[in-house]
Amino acid sequence: MPEFLKLLSPSQAMQNWLNEISSKNVFAEETLTTEANGRILFNDITAPHPLPQFSRSTVDGYAVIARDTFGASDGLPAYLKLIGEVKMGEKAEIEVLKGTAVLIHTGGMLPVGADAVVMLEHTQSSRQDEIEVTKPAAPLENTIQVGEDVQTDEVILKKGALIRPVEIGGLMAYGILSVNVVRKPRIAIISTGDEVVPPSTMPSIGQVRDINTYTLEALINEHGGEAVKMGIVPDDPTKLKQILAAALNECDAVLVTAGSSASARDMTSQVIDESGRPGVLVHGINIRPGKPAILAVCDGKPVIGLPGNPVSAFVIAWLFVPPMINRLQGVIKEPFQKQITARLTINISSQAGREDYIPAKITLENGEYLAEPIFFKSNLIFNLVKADALIFVPADANGLNAGDRVKIFFL
């Protein structure tokens, strides 16, 4: 087993760990497209036909032959004979010939012969069957051509893509009413500690209610996993090993809270290391809060040992659980984190070589975001409840000064 607290940077710890997690064991399930928001696509989807299927106008105006308008101006307009109108929702049966124009509306089918549309405001009526064009139109101006959006057999969505509202709209453009998505990874949560009791229990002196299970459950579900609560396990390595084995058998990954510190009675690291190969890969990350975190893989399934303190547990889970879920689902592109820059309101001290994540209140004043640090103790959950975001303090900083612009991540 690796020596305790050989500290790695968060990025190096993440890379070492993710490299050992397989994304091959993914399973498909069918769902309605309308219910697929936030899910991961299981297979490529190709276009059965071009989109759009017919050339159309992007403005209200007149379908014309572009060269008939060349040189047109307010002082010397081009005169075109008006020969009809394209009705919305109907096939254009009329043909545009040299010197003619057809009234067309936004989205209307471009008639045969026309290669441009003159905007309505660049025309005026001289007679009932004639228009004056006061601005020339270039070929294909104000039109969308067949297949300009998508060509037949083009891959419109790739396997491993995150389905968002825009993807749902694109699928509906093709009448694709159901899709195969990756089954949500089942993530087991094991809470440990003789002092931990369920939230429904009135704790006696020396006991605390289980916070982490429910914070982690919400985080897992928010990021596309399915949380499975395995209950509270006392500080007994044998019992923990039994529950961990059951969790690894039933689920795709496991989170174990508490028991990751260096104290003699906390045997989580040893139990995890003995539960599958290669075992513990990282025990100790150069980060605050959450330094004693454990990252492991047991026979292909990721396991995270989280500190028991709620703030520490949340920060480590916030950093490592979403990428883990994405890897288990074969996601092809990591989503961008919700981050901005803000101006720091007071000084922050920091230890060089260590990344810090500090809870903060965010306000908006005169168009600028301000970040007010919340100086926390990691066992106090309401330090996080009061926070809007986490301030990132990079490892090469010896602290930050009031007025500095800092990177913040919204919670």
Sign of CA dihedral 401, 405, 409, 411: positive
Q: Which one-letter amino acid corresponds to residue 22?
A: S
Nearest to 40 by CA among 189, 170, 175, 157: 157
Residue 281 has a pLDDT of 95
Res 357: pLDDT: 93
Preceding omega of 77 cis (within 30 degrees of 0)? no
Q: Tell me, what DSSP letter sits at residue 114?
A: -
Could you tell me the CA-to-CA distances from 128 to 29, 80, 352 in Å, in that order? 60, 11, 80
pLDDT at 300 (0 to 100): 93
Torsional class of 217: left (φ above 0), alpha (ψ -120 to 50), beta (otherwise): alpha
Three-state SS at 18: helix
How far lies 40's CA from each of 95, 159, 167, in Å?
Answer: 46, 8, 11
For residues 57 and 111, the answer to whether their CB atoms sit within 8 Å is no
pLDDT attached to residue 258: 80
C-alpha to C-alpha distance for 160 and 335, rounded to whole angstroms: 12
Q: What is the pLDDT of residue 205?
A: 94
Whether residue 251 contacts residue 189, with contact meaning beta carbons closer than 8 Å, is answered with no
> Beta strand pairing status for 100-104 and 61-64?
antiparallel
Measured distance CA(389)–CA(391) in Å, rounded: 7
> Shortest CA distance to 309 belongs to which of 258, 379, 377, 376?
379
Query: Is 219 in a helix, a strand, or coil?
Result: helix
pLDDT for 3:
44
Grouping H, G, I as helix, E, B as strand and the rest as coil, residue 176 is coil
Specify whether the CB–CB gap between 192 and 257 falls below 8 A.
yes
| Pair of tokens at residue 215 | 């914070």
- Give the type of residue at 230: M
Alpha carbon 13 to its chain centroid, in Å, reads 22
With beta carbons less than 8 A apart as the criterion, state whether 188 and 250 touch. yes
What are the angstrom distances between the C-alpha of 363 and each of 286, 374, 384?
29, 13, 16
pLDDT at 336: 74
The secondary structure of 129-161 as a DSSP string is: TEEEE-S---TTTTEE-TTSSB-TT-EEE-TTP
Of 357, 411, 365, nearest in space to 388 by CA: 411
Give the gyration radius of the chain's Cα atoms: 31
Amino acid in the structure at residue 233: V
Give the three-class secondary structure for 17. helix
Sign for the pseudo-dihedral over CA of 70, 74, 80, 83:
positive
* Lookup result for tokens 């020969």: 83
Residue 103 DSSP SS3:
strand
Q: Residue 64: beta bridge partners?
A: 116
- Write the DSSP symbol of residue 98: T
In this structure, which amino acid lies at residue 179? V
Mean pLDDT by 10 residues, the chain (411 residues): 66 95 87 97 97 97 98 96 96 96 98 98 92 97 97 96 96 97 97 91 91 97 97 93 97 86 66 95 93 94 94 95 95 81 94 91 94 83 88 91 94 89
Beta-bridge mates of residue 388: none
Q: Cβ atoms within 10 A of the Cβ of 314, count? A: 27
Residue 373 CA: distances (Å) to CA of 88, 338, 342, 348, 369: 58, 18, 11, 8, 13
What structural domains does the chain harbor?
Answer: 10-27+183-328 (3.40.980.10), 32-51+149-182 (3.90.105.10), 56-144 (2.170.190.11), 339-410 (2.40.340.10)
Per-residue confidence (pLDDT) for residue 240, from 0 to 100: 95
Residue 399 identity: G
